[in-house]
């Protein structure tokens, strides 16, 4: 199969029919073999009824329905598990992503050998000052910390090589960072394509301003998990040791100063009266706690079923 198109949706009953018809028209014109996976993320409207009706008319359409709303990441992850196409396209169900972009995205994956191509909605029709500035800051911060030169990490229109989606796991609200997850999984050839952004025709947006706050928290999480999930002691142990040593040296200096003053019979206030004593004590306690945190994380990691799970690209002469 050439293409799998995964469409996560939540309360999008009005847009499903025109979206599926548009996709079908593009696929037939290009002669692709394809499937469309509509993942209903616990919609409360008639979205699932519409999906059932469409699936009876179109054998290329498949539907998956959650019992409740889990979020876009969960919908994408389930879609990745069930897709079969050599190239996987993800797009939103609100008709703001154009299916006409699919042939070019497919070409970039197959002929230009990209592992992942992310859309860039360079010209937007829903931008407001309150959304535009936080979005630019969010994307700039992500570019800086990850080294991935994309302008729009959160664009729903993306294309993947099949190996990519079968090698990664998306959870929580990590759909914003799929390029980051793919990079840390070893897929380095990540590209970008300017895509058309269309005005929303039906319904309302499902995302508020909280996504920018959550986005930064998720960035911290993904950076930590990517770098230290298999070696947490390298983070907690190092910083814990540094903090404990600094605290111990500070306490020792205070003690030596008190001892010298006592020997020379010089007046000196109690060690406990110095604010540096409590700072030293705090550093030693925090250092010990961080070290123990790293130790416990190592014990948990060694009992993880994925502790020796590594992605293998190719094999040769191995039976």
Which homologous superfamily does the CATH classification assign to the domain defined by 3-228?
Spore Coat Polysaccharide Biosynthesis Protein SpsA; Chain A (3.90.550.10)
Whether pLDDT at 203 is above 70: no
Question: Quick one: CA dihedral 16, 21, 24, 25, positive or negative?
Answer: negative
What pLDDT does 204 receive? 62
Burial of residue 123 (number of CB atoms within 10 Å: 0-12, 13-18, 19+): exposed
Whether pLDDT at 221 is above 80: no
Phi/psi for 257 (5° steps) reads -60, -40
Region of poorest pLDDT, from 140-144, 162-166, 168-172, 299-303: 299-303
What pLDDT does 36 receive? 96
49 confidence band (pLDDT: 50, 70, 90): very high
147 confidence band (pLDDT: 50, 70, 90): confident
152 in Cβ contact with 121 (< 8 Å): yes
CA 61, 62, 66: angle at the middle one, nearest 5?
A: 140
Percentage of the chain exceeding pLDDT 90: 48
218 in Cβ contact with 173 (< 8 Å): yes
- The tens digit of pLDDT for each residue in 255-271 reads 888 788 778 877 777 77
3-state helix, strand, coil in the chain (%, to 5): 50, 10, 35
What pLDDT does 65 receive? 94
How many residues are recorded in the chain? 319
87 in Cβ contact with 109 (< 8 Å): yes
What pLDDT does 246 receive? 92
Whether pLDDT at 1 is above 80: yes
Half-sphere exposure of 89 (CA within 13 A, CB side): 29
| CA atoms of 45 and 42, how far apart (whole Å) | 9
Q: Which two tokens stand for residue 159?
A: 């294309």
Whether pLDDT at 313 is above 80: no
- Cβ-proximal residues to 293 (8 Å cutoff; 6+ apart), any chain: 232, 236, 240
Taking phi first (over 0 means left), then psi (-120 to 50 degrees means alpha), and beta for anything else, what does residue 312 get? beta
Helical H runs in 58-209? 72-82, 102-110, 129-146, 162-165, 178-184
C-alpha radius of gyration, the chain, whole number = 26
Region of poorest pLDDT, from 68-82, 120-134, 227-241, 270-284: 120-134
- Average pLDDT, integer, range 272-287: 86
| Tokens 């002691």 -> residue | 233
Domain ranges of the chain: 3-228, 233-302
- The tens digit of pLDDT for each residue in 287-303 reads 999 888 888 877 776 66
| Tokens 């797009």 -> residue | 91
Helical H runs in the chain? 13-30, 47-57, 72-82, 102-110, 129-146, 162-165, 178-184, 210-228, 233-263, 275-302
Question: Quick one: CA dihedral 236, 242, 243, 248, positive or negative?
Answer: positive
**DSSP 8-state secondary structure symbol assigned to residue 197:** B
């Amino acid at each position: 199969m050439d293409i799998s198109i995964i469409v996560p949706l939540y309360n999008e009953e009005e847009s499903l029919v025109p979206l599926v018809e548009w996709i079908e028209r593009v696929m037939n014109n290009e002669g692709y073999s394809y499937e469309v996976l509509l993942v209903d993320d616990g919609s409360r409207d008639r979205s699932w009824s519409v999906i059932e009706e469409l699936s009876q008319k179109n054998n290329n359409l498949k539907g998956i329905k959650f019992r409740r709303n889990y979020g876009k990441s969960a919908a994408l992850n389930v879609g990745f598990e069930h897709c079969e196409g050599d190239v996987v396209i993800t797009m939103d169900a609100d008709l703001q992503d154009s299916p006409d972009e699919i042939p070019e995205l497919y070409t970039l994956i197959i002929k230009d050998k990209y592992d992942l191509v992310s859309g860039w909605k360079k010209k937007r029709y829903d931008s407001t000052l309150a959304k535009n500035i936080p979005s630019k800051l969010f994307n700039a911060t992500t570019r800086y910390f990850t080294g991935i030169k994309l302008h729009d990490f959160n664009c729903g229109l993306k294309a993947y090589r099949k190996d990519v989606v079968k090698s990664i796991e998306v959870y929580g609200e990590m759909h914003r960072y799929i390029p980051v997850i793919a990079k840390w999984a070893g897929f380095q050839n990540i590209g970008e394509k300017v895509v058309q952004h269309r005005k929303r025709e039906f319904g309302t947006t499902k995302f508020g301003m909280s996504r920018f706050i959550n986005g930064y928290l998720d960035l911290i999480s993904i950076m930590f998990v990517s770098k230290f999930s298999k070696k947490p002691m390298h983070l907690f142990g190092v910083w814990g040791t540094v903090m404990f040593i600094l605290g111990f040296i500070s306490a020792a200096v205070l003690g030596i100063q008190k001892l010298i003053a006592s020997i020379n019979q010089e007046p000196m206030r109690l060690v406990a009266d110095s604010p540096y004593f409590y700072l030293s004590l705090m550093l030693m306690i925090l250092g010990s706690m961080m070290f123990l945190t790293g130790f416990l994380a190592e014990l948990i990691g060694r009992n993880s079923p994925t502790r020796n799970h590594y992605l293998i690209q190719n094999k040769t002469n191995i039976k």
